[in-house]
């Protein structure tokens, strides 16, 4: 372990993934039966440095999932492109892992078989893929649950399976779409800490993490992209300069943490109030 390294030294300067001018619109059916085109994303630009943990934060419904699906090649952008490992993404790249908000586990498979899924599709030999899957099951702390069905374990454990499945294909970039949004608070905090330990120490990964939770973003990230709404666009890139190995100390008592938290929350509040259709809000009104 190279414990004395600062985070900037850990990050390579070459971007591993670059999003260039991505735009996306969806047709939306109006009440009159007419179709209206809604611009969800417009001119989204950012890049991920190798080894970094980057969060995308924005209000609910602003287009975070849409953006992540475009990055993974699940959805075609109307304009712009995504460059991953020097190539334009058109279909889901083999070296990207995806962790879904609703877990996306296959209920007819055991924990082990779910983790093996990506390797199985790749035609990895059964012995080897079982070994690899077991390794990641151990890393996410699910040893002993290999043969359980998905419905037999808690939501937090289900998302661990989702994470192990994404890690087992040894991705260069890990995409996570609000992975802890539907998990209770206590479990979520533990999962956040363990996620950081995993992607910053056990199996270092470049991570792109989508969330609408300010604390989560500040705690986990080296960089936070603030996404505005209607249409969504990167308004600001916030660097989180807090000491590494954040799971070893109480980050939340640090002044910088509080400052960033307030700054991001202000941004979100403004986005939601101004563009979210709340209008001017007067608490005096009956």
Ligand X SMILES: Nc1ncnc2c1ncn2[C@@H]1O[C@H](COP(=O)(O)OP(=O)(O)O)[C@@H](O)[C@H]1O
Q: By CB under 8 A, name the binding residues for another protein.
A: 72, 74, 91-92, 94, 96, 98, 100, 102, 104, 106-109, 117-118, 120-122, 149-152, 165, 169
Query: What strands, in cross-sheet order, belong to the sheet with 15-29?
Result: 35-49, 15-29, 79-84, 87-88
Q: Cβ closer to ligand X: 65 or 148?
A: 65
According to CB under 6 A, which one of 11, 15, 18, 26 is a site residue for ligand X? Answer: 26
62 binds ligand X (CB under 6 A): yes
Tokens representing 5 are 């390294």
Spatial separation of the C-alpha atoms in residues 241 and 126, rounded to whole Å: 44
66 binds ligand X (CB under 6 A): yes
The C-alpha R_g of the chain, in whole angstroms, comes to 20
Helices (H), ranges, the chain: 7-10, 64-71, 111-121, 126-139, 155-168, 185-197, 214-220, 255-275
25 binds ligand X (CB under 6 A): no
Chosen from another protein, Mg ion, ligand X, none, partner binding at 40 (C-beta under 5 to 8 Å by type):
ligand X
Q: Cβ closer to another protein: 93 or 244?
A: 93
182 binds Mg ion (CB under 5 A): no
Residue facing ligand X at closest CB distance: 65
65 binds Mg ion (CB under 5 A): yes
Spatial separation of the C-alpha atoms in residues 17 and 56, rounded to whole Å: 14
Q: Least distance from C-beta 197 to ligand X, angstroms?
A: 26
Chosen from another protein, ligand X, Mg ion, none, partner binding at 92 (C-beta under 5 to 8 Å by type):
another protein
By CB under 5 A, the residues from 232 to 271 that bind Mg ion are: none
Q: Least distance from C-beta 160 to ligand X, angstroms?
A: 22
Contact (Cβ atoms closer than 8 angstroms) between residue 57 and residue 224: yes
Chosen from ligand X, another protein, Mg ion, none, partner binding at 66 (C-beta under 5 to 8 Å by type):
ligand X
Contact (Cβ atoms closer than 8 angstroms) between residue 129 and residue 115: no
Q: Is 160 helix (H, G, I), strand (E, B) or coil?
A: helix
Contact (Cβ atoms closer than 8 angstroms) between residue 55 and residue 212: no
One symbol per residue from 211 to 250: x for binding ligand X (CB under 6 A), - otherwise; what is it? ----------------------------------------
By CB under 6 A, the residues from 88 to 127 that bind ligand X are: none
- Which residues does residue 44 pair with via DSSP β-bridges, in sequence order? 22
Dihedral of the alpha carbons of 234, 23, 166, 9, in degrees to the nearest 10:
-40
Contact (Cβ atoms closer than 8 angstroms) between residue 181 and residue 214: no
Residues that bind ligand X (CB under 6 A): 26, 40, 58, 60-66
* Residues at the interface with Mg ion (CB under 5 A): 65
């Amino acid at each position: 372990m190279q414990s004395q390294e600062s985070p900037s030294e850990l990050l390579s300067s070459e971007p591993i993934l670059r999003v260039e001018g991505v735009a996306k619109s969806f047709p939306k059916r109006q009440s009159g039966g007419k179709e209206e085109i809604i611009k969800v994303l417009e001119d989204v630009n950012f890049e991920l440095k190798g080894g970094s943990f980057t969060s995308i934060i924005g209000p609910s419904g602003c287009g975070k999932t849409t953006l992540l699906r475009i990055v993974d090649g699940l959805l075609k952008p109307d304009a712009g492109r995504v460059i991953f490992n020097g190539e334009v993404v058109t279909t889901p790249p083999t070296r990207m892992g995806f962790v879904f908000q609703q877990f996306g586990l296959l209920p007819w498979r055991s924990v082990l078989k779910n983790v093996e899924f990506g390797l199985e599709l790749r035609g990895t030999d059964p012995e080897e893929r079982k070994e690899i899957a077991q390794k990641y099951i151990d890393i996410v702390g699910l040893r002993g649950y290999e043969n359980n069905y998905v419905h037999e374990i808690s939501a937090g454990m289900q998302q661990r399976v989702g994470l192990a499945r994404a890690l087992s294909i040894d991705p260069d970039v890990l995409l996570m779409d609000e992975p802890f949004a539907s998990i209770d608070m206590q479990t979520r905090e533990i999962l956040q800490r363990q996620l950081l330990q995993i992607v910053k120490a056990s199996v270092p990964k470049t991570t792109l993490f989508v969330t609408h939770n300010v604390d989560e973003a500040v705690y986990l990230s080296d960089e936070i992209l603030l996404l505005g709404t209607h249409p969504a666009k990167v308004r600001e890139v916030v660097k989180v300069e807090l000491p590494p190995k954040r799971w070893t100390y109480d980050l939340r008592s640090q002044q910088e943490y509080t400052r960033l938290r307030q700054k991001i929350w202000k941004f979100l509040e403004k986005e939601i109030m101004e563009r979210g259709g709340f209008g001017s809000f007067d608490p005096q009104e009956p």
